[in-house]
Structure 1
């Protein structure tokens, strides 16, 4: 098994996952990168990922030392090109609840004395989950779990990678992960505006998680896929199969009417560079020249009915 990359989004139960992984893999099996000033950061990370980062040399030494996972607070693009999208996992949390939890953490452990509104208004604390995955297609990650459904997430992750990481509860500000903080309505509205992009991401992640659960129960394969963009009268995206290397067949509907199927076997250099499955031959494109502006295009896995992220897509006029 290749080493896993765990992108530890702050206040998402990541510490619980890291401790569980360490208990399963063994002491010294996990590399840590929590910043150059952190005492937790591993020496091998400081050696290779300092002022002039050399991710490849770091990855080779990590494998030589038989390390099983890297965990830390970092932007995913820092390590994904060497670990690969398929081996990258993370846990996401309701954006508003995550901000409150982070504020309470800063107040308890970092001696933050400011008001909550002052904290969540700072650009560095808005859309944090969105920023951590900037430059990557997050739907193509190997696994995306949810804090609110941590136990279920852990079971699904273990099943996918053939692991037995135990459930541990560490560094929790509340007794139960699913408990919600009460927030005054005026602050709640401000938080929704400030974190609108991240809220959209989270809703899409929840939808895909639901499909992962359903398909797991059916014994069917999950597909990591998304519509990316529209240009030059074509809609483009990717569909990455998890359980085998067969190209995914996608069913296309426009305004609810079946329009045919497309095979996701086109080469995507950016996905290949970040270690996507099938050597990057997971892309697709759909000719939309015959469809009216404002029409709604749906793209789903033909085998299971699983919709891709960003489906349905409203066809817009050319820029």
Structure 2
């Protein structure tokens, strides 16, 4: 019987670009179905069953067709995902979408001068679901009134994280999550460079009132994240001191790896720019 493909249920702004670079080192190009760009969304809106033969990993900002058991493209899948503190995730998502010209929201957000508060509270169709308990919706596929606390959907999301998904990581605990995910997926290589990180100078000021509003409008997501974090911390605690040493060893190795990558990148930039000629 063919093994179920893995599905990266990619919540935006949770270090997914970095993770996908790691995944490419362990899965062959022909084994990955990646659905991120508008062209890919159109091309893979529907897929013939035969086209999925040989696919071991599906990845993208996609909702599942069914959540319990998880299915997409009419196939059972083994799901993994990463969560991030919901308010910081929303701030990061808003700033990223405003600063990256290739994304489909860039023109709309900038031409209409959409503020972070408007991004959260707007009822405009393109924004209405983005700033209001999106994580709870993403992990259940349920539609609910954004003006009401989604108690039922929240309980379904908790159930899915604890009992249905194969692996749940925490972006703020990325290295620990990565080591656990490596065992789950059988990854060959775990060292990484950080990708798609917002530069500090691009981070616009978000007021305390905006943060308070984000927490209010995303109360279910805040509770869901706390639940997921507790599950994760309990798992780490159960692994004991040996796992903590393994994490520390990996952090040391990966720090050296990142320094090496940075040095190579600097050298390549220097070669592209040509030799530096000092004035006489």
Which interval holds the TM-score relative to the shorter structure? 0.5 to 0.7
Question: In 2 relative to 1, CA 174–144 (structure 1 residues): closer, same or farther, beyond 3 Å?
Answer: farther
Partner of 1:130: 136
Q: Does residue 194 of structure 1 match 2:200? A: no
Q: 1: CA distance between counterparts of 2:204 and 2:231?
A: 25
Match status 1:171 vs 2:173: no
For structure 2, list consecutive stretches of 5 or more residues without a partner in the other structure: 101-105, 123-127, 143-155, 244-280
Structure having the higher strand fraction is 1
> How many equivalent pairs are there?
201
Pick closer, same or farther for the CA change 1:169–1:42 going to 2, 3 Å.
farther
Q: Is the 8 A contact 1:128 1:198 kept in 2?
A: yes
Q: Is 1:212 aligned with 2:258?
A: no
Deviates more, 1:23-32 or 1:185-194: 23-32
State the TM-score, normalizing by the size of structure 1. 0.56
Q: Within the alignment, does 1:117 sit opposite 2:108 as a pair?
A: no
- What RMSD over aligned residues (CA atoms) do the two structures have, in Å? 2.7
Look up the match of 1:150: 174
In the alignment, the residues of structure 2 paired with residue 78 and residue 34 of structure 1 have an alpha-carbon distance, to the nearest angstrom, of 20
Moved more, 198-207 or 70-79: 70-79
Secondary structure of 1:25's match?
Answer: coil
What CA distance in whole angstroms lies between the structure 1 residues aligned with 2:189 and 2:42? 21
Structure 2 length normalisation: TM-score?
Answer: 0.64
Alignment of 1:1-319 (within 5 A): 2-34=4-36, 38-41=38-41, 43=43, 45-48=44-47, 58=49, 61-62=51-52, 64=53, 66-78=54-66, 80-81=70-71, 84=76, 87-109=78-100, 110-111=106-107, 112-113=109-110, 114-122=114-122, 123-125=128-130, 126-134=132-140, 135=142, 137-140=160-163, 141-166=165-190, 167-174=192-199, 183-217=206-240
Give the Cα–Cα distance (whole angstroms) in 2 for the partners of residues 219 and 193 of structure 1: 40
Equivalent residues of 1:32, 1:70 under 8 A apart: yes
Equivalent residues of 1:75, 1:131 under 8 A apart: no
Deviation at 1:78, TM superposition (A): 4.9
4+ aligned runs moved over 6 Å, structure 1? none
Structure showing greater relative contact order (alpha-carbon pairs closer than 8 Å, 6 or more residues apart): 2
